[in-house]
Amino acid sequence: MHETLLAVAPAFHFRDVVFSHGWLRLPPYQWDDEAGILSRLDRLPSGSVARTEIRDTPEGLLVRTEAEPEHAAARARWMLALDEDFSGFHALCEGEPHLARAAERGQGRILRCPTAWEDLVKTLFSVNTTWRQTIAMTTHLVNHYGASHPSGAAAFPDPEVVARIDPQELQERCRVGYRAGVLSAIAREVADGRLDLERLKSVSLEEAEAGLLAIRGIGPYAAANMLMLLGHYDHLPVDSWFRKTVRDAWFNGESTPDRKMVEAFDRFRPYRTLVYLFYDWEGAMRREVWEGTVG
DNA sequence: TTCCAGGGGTAGA
DNA sequence: TCTACCCATGGA
């Protein structure tokens, strides 16, 4: 195994990034909670499949990989957003009790996949379905079509591979429902070079958003989720989870139009998504209950 | 059987 | 720009 040590920001907490949202539960990510090791399999440019492990040490993040260590280190930096500056967000947290923890712990980094392609497919699998089914769809896709590692597990399939699969077969083997046609179309466009998802990492917010919304099957929620994963933190992914969380904490559990709930985040521009992700919702809800009891 | 889940597309106002 | 309505699949 090759080892690389990566420097991190002073107030960096590995587990906070790993558990920033649900991506950790989607293969090929694996998490060893006891050892505190995040690992995954990736198909490398050379064609081989290598395991990469990341764990925290007092000296920094240790990246261990079976091959192409420079490539693995670059992937890790992107996956954990190590090169991003969150000082603006932390300054915004000042004076906001339920964001104090976020500032103290240096939060703001969100776990993402090495490629925008993988993030987009997983986002598509999270649309209009249960989280359990999102995990099942991703697991089926990886197990059936991902390049396999000697260990028997597999990497996330490349778009070229998915592009060659008949949509009906995709539906039957991966249980992705109506998403089969959308997934197939996206894979073919990426494979043909008509759609450059990696480019979205380096363009402006406006261009990234327009590019995402132009993809059939990607609406406001999915685009906002992708923008967050691309490093733009001001488009709220309004889904059923968002609605329940905000309604319960800020609107006394009463039915509230999306517009009103989004407006409640106005004062947190341009970091609304980070506030949504790292706000101490439990603390806010306990306070509601306490005030209600006393009042 | 019905309802809903970490919504999207379309038509019409 | 906003709303109403229909669409899709699998599981509880």
A5-53 pLDDT, tens digit per residue, is: 999 998 999 999 999 989 999 999 999 999 999 999 999 989 999 999 9
Measure, in angstroms, how far nucleotide C3 C1' is from residue A275 CA: 29
pLDDT of A195-211, one tens digit each? 999 999 999 999 999 99
What distances in angstroms separate CA A207 from CA A159, A213, A260, one per listed residue? Answer: 22, 10, 27
Nucleotides of chain C within 7 Å of a protein C-beta? 2-3, 8-12
What's the one-letter identity of residue A199? R
A245 touches strand B (CB under 7 A): no
Measure, in angstroms, how far nucleotide B6 C1' is from residue A25 CA: 14
Task: Measure CA to C1' and name the residue nearest C9.
Answer: A177
More confident residue, A44 or A255: A44
**pTM of the predicted protein model:** 0.95
Measure, in angstroms, how far nucleotide B5 C1' is from residue A137 CA: 14
Identify the band that residue A295 occupies on the pLDDT scale cut at 50, 70 and 90.
Answer: very low
Measure, in angstroms, how far nucleotide C1 C1' is from residue A267 CA: 22
Report yes or no: A283 and A102 within 8 Å, Cβ to Cβ. Answer: no
A20 touches strand B (CB under 7 A): no
Residue A95 has a pLDDT of: 86
Measure, in angstroms, how far nucleotide C7 C1' is from residue A178 CA: 10
Give the torsion sign (CA, A173, A174, A177, A180).
Answer: negative
Tokens representing A133? 């089914």
